[in-house]
Amino acid sequence: MKQVKGWWFGTTGKKLLHDDNRKIIIGKTHKIKGEIIPCKKGLHLSKRLIDALNYAPGPVVYRVVGSGIIIPHGDPVDKYVCSERTYIAGGIDVSDLLLLFARRCALDVIHLWDAPDVVIRYLKTGDESIKAIAWSTSWAVGDVGDDSWAARAATAARATARPISWAVGDVWAAVEAAAEASGTIMGDARTAGDTQNRRLTSMISRAIRRLP
């Protein structure tokens, strides 16, 4: 494999992490010398945007190409570590899009849980004025028990309505819980993840195409 095209999320500082601090610029290629080790040393990316989201340290998304030494990681493979990574598009903060995406994923499975009306309204509208109410009401209804469908649907909804400033981890929690709930029905959470990936890729790709 000479190259692999994919996605990578960075932070709003637009610099490499782990004391590297090199600036990230569209069109630029970063290189790493020495042994490349998945999750320890190298420049990472994922072919699927949903997989990149799983590893995201922040909400700034890039379309990237990996080259040089390329090592696949995971079973099934969900990321690659490379000795070189070129940033070809993006560099935008997609915080709002990620939260919208998470709410849509939660809505996909909300019918599995007898959710309070205010929770459903928040998921549909994203109205910040009812977010705290949706959060508190979602817990006030009590434990949903051991029913994995309802429990995971509730988890997906609650993760999007946290009253504190949300993080990418909250988005991933919502998305993962929704995929697990869908996967319980379909017998394959990976298939649910594929559906989510198509939605997220469409949303992010449109945002990147709108860049000046």
What pLDDT score was predicted for residue 188? Answer: 57
Residue 146: band (very low, low, confident or very high) from pLDDT cuts 50, 70, 90: low
Please tell me the pTM assigned to this model: 0.91
Q: What is the pLDDT of residues 194-212, one digit of tens each?
A: 889 999 999 999 999 998 7
Q: Is the pLDDT of residue 185 over 60?
A: no
Q: Is the pLDDT of residue 24 over 90?
A: yes
DSSP 46-100: BSSHHHHHHT-SSSEEEEEEEEEEEEEEETTEEEEEEEEEEEEEEEEE-HHHHHH
Q: What is the pLDDT of residues 122-132, one digit of tens each?
A: 999 999 999 99
The residue ranges of every structural domain in the chain are 3-93, 96-207
User: Do you find a cis peptide bond into 163, omega within 30 degrees of 0?
Assistant: no
Q: Exposed/middle/buried for 102, CB within 10 Å: 0-12, 13-18, 19+?
A: buried
